[in-house]
Amino acid sequence: MEITVAVIKEKKGPFTFEKVQLDGPRPNEVMIKITACGICHTDLAVRDQIYPAPLPIVLGHEGSGVVEAVGDEVTKVKPGDHVVISYGHCGKCPNCLKGSPSYCYNFLGLNFGGCRTDGTHAHHHGNEVLNDFFFSQSSFGTYTVAPETNVVKVDNTVPLELLGPLGCGIQTGAGAVINSLKPGPGSSIIIFGAGAVGLSAIMAAAATGCTTIIAVDINPFRLEFALTLGATHTLDSRQSDFAEVIKAIDVNGIDYAVDTTGRGEVINAAIYSLKSKGICGIIGASPTPLSLDANYLVGKGLQLKGIVEGDSIPDVFIPQLIALFKAGKFPFDKLIKFYEPADINQAAEDSEKGITVKPIIRFDLLNENAS
């Protein structure tokens, strides 16, 4: 069938809209009419070729939509179901079988390969190769197909256009707290970076009973905003009395830290803010190797924990986040600004400039216009 997609054709180039052909679903695949798709920094990192997925490509990995058709072997969903599409994982390797699908042995190919693992595509643009299956979904379009594995059925009483970012950025921040660090009630936690991922971590910390929640950023508006989402303290990472302020909050330091900035000096500040036996979760994409004081880590018994996708099992965790949202304990809708498809490049720029925390593109507007 003919669909409309946003394509990145060249490194650092704009999203351009193209009419392309989409194949129907294979036996293990689901065809989805896309309602909306969030923009995550990983889309922009591929646009800029910091992550080397092949171009031209249909990006988008925070899709939500309605099941249009299913392949013969699909049992999880049926046409009409509301779904969120999350990251690709094989479901069969040892890590998938042990309940850690974000460390799937096939993660790279399934998320950044630019095609199915057998090398085929579902999107076709004349004789040109059009790379797809980005995060096993390529959701910047009016329709897509995705394997059943990463399609998550969701509560159809919640507005579907809000839900796509639960498939990546929001589950990453919330999962880092709820699934990875698991702070007990009354714990203290410090979150570096108050963007989509960090603010989700702050909301999760508040929802799970942390009583000291320190938001750190360099953007004063984001720090103000963090206070409305559960942060109890805010700090600018550049302020000269940073260490003294932490000591004034707790002379022994903080129980848990989360870094979403990927910056070496910030990760070191996160480590130095911890109390003995503290744990620092690392989420942000780092452009350079990290330099660490190993003696300090040893002496304090500290742990560093790399975290992909919030250690979440999407079929389990996304419904949990929706339940918290419905209970008023995880107001992630406050992070969102909707954009029309024609404004997708503006949405990307607003996200990079820190104007919008989580942009979502309403592809249902194109579907409405087409029908």
Ligand X SMILES: NC(=O)c1ccc[n+]([C@@H]2O[C@H](COP(=O)([O-])OP(=O)(O)OC[C@H]3O[C@@H](n4cnc5c(N)ncnc54)[C@H](O)[C@@H]3O)[C@@H](O)[C@H]2O)c1
Enumerate binding residues for ligand X (CB under 6 A): 40-42, 168-169, 172, 192-198, 216-219, 222, 237, 260-263, 266, 283-285, 307-309, 354
Tokens of 142: 């009016």
260 touches, from ligand X, Zn ion, none (C-beta below 5 to 8 Å by class): ligand X
Q: How far is the CB of 51 from ligand X (least distance, A)?
A: 9
Q: How far is the CB of 336 from ligand X (least distance, A)?
A: 12
Q: Which residue among 20, 53, 90, 152 contacts Zn ion (CB under 5 A)? A: 90
81/259 with CB nearer ligand X? 259
Distance CA 65, CA 29 (A): 15
Closer to ligand X by CB, 183 or 198: give it: 198
Residue with Cβ nearer ligand X (309 or 364): 309
Nearest residue to 144 via CA among 27, 44, 23: 23
C-alpha distance from residue 268 to each of 34, 172, 258, 273, 282 (Å): 41, 21, 11, 9, 11
- Is residue 185 packed enough to be buried (19+ CB in 10 Å), middle (13-18) or exposed (0-12)? exposed
Select from 35, 42, 64, 111 the one that contacts Zn ion (CB under 5 A).
42
Of ligand X, Zn ion, none, which one sits near residue 28, judging by CB under 5 to 8 A according to partner kind? none
Distance in Å, CB of 100 to Zn ion, minimum: 9
Q: Which is nearer to ligand X, 65 or 193 (CB)?
A: 193
Residues with Cβ within 8 Å of 22's Cβ and at least 6 positions away in sequence, in order, are 1, 2, 3, 31, 122, 123, 124, 141, 143, 144, 145
Contact of residue 222 among Zn ion, ligand X, none (CB under 5-8 Å per partner type): ligand X
Q: Among 165-173, 234-242, 266-274, 336-344, which window interacts with Zn ion (CB under 5 A)?
A: 165-173
The nearer residue to ligand X, 43 or 81, going by C-beta atoms, is 43
Does 93 sit near Zn ion (CB under 5 A)? yes
Binding of Zn ion at residue 357 (CB under 5 A)?
no
Binding residues for Zn ion, how many (CB under 5 A)? 8
Residue 97 CB coordination number (10 Å): 11
- Report what 148 binds from ligand X, Zn ion, none; CB cut-off 5-8 Å by kind: none
Applying CB under 5 A, does 168 fall inside the site for Zn ion? yes
Compute φ and ψ for 224, nearest 5 degrees. Answer: -60, -45
Residue 113 sits at φ, ψ, to 5 deg, of -70, -25
Residue 44 binding result from Zn ion, ligand X, none, given CB thresholds of 5 to 8 Å by partner type: none
Q: Work out whether 137 is an interface residue with Zn ion (CB under 5 A).
A: no
In the complex, the smallest distance separating the C-beta of residue 143 from ligand X, rounded to whole angstroms, is 25
| Interface pick for Zn ion out of 7, 96, 229, 347 (rule CB under 5 A) | 96
State both tokens at 63.
Answer: 């899709």
**Dist. CA 189–CA 283, nearest whole Å:** 15
The strand pairing partners of 331, in sequence order, are: none
Residue 93 site contact among ligand X, Zn ion, none (CB < 5 to 8 Å, cut-off depends on kind): Zn ion
Choose the one of ligand X, Zn ion, none that binds residue 193, judging by a C-beta under 5 to 8 angstroms depending on kind: ligand X
Contacts 24+ apart (CB under 8 A), 120-124: 122/22, 122/23, 122/29, 123/5, 123/20, 123/21, 123/22, 123/23, 123/58, 124/20, 124/21, 124/22, 124/23
Residue from 230, 228, 191, 226 nearest 208 by CA? 230
Minimum CB separation of residue 42 from ligand X in Å reads 5
Q: Measured between alpha carbons, how far is 83 from 211 in angstroms, rounded to an integer?
A: 34
Q: Which one of ligand X, Zn ion, none is in contact with 273 (Cβ closer than 5 to 8 A by kind)?
A: none
Q: In angstroms, what is the minimal distance from the CB of 252 to ligand X?
A: 23
Tell how strand 63-70 and strand 57-58 pair up: unpaired
Judged by beta carbon distances under 5 to 8 A according to partner kind, the member of ligand X, Zn ion, none in contact with residue 90 is Zn ion
Dig out the tokens for 165 from the structure.
């970012």
Q: Give the phi and the psi of residue 229 in degrees, each rounded to 5.
A: -110, 5
Q: Which residues bind Zn ion (CB under 5 A)?
A: 40, 42, 89-90, 93, 96, 104, 168
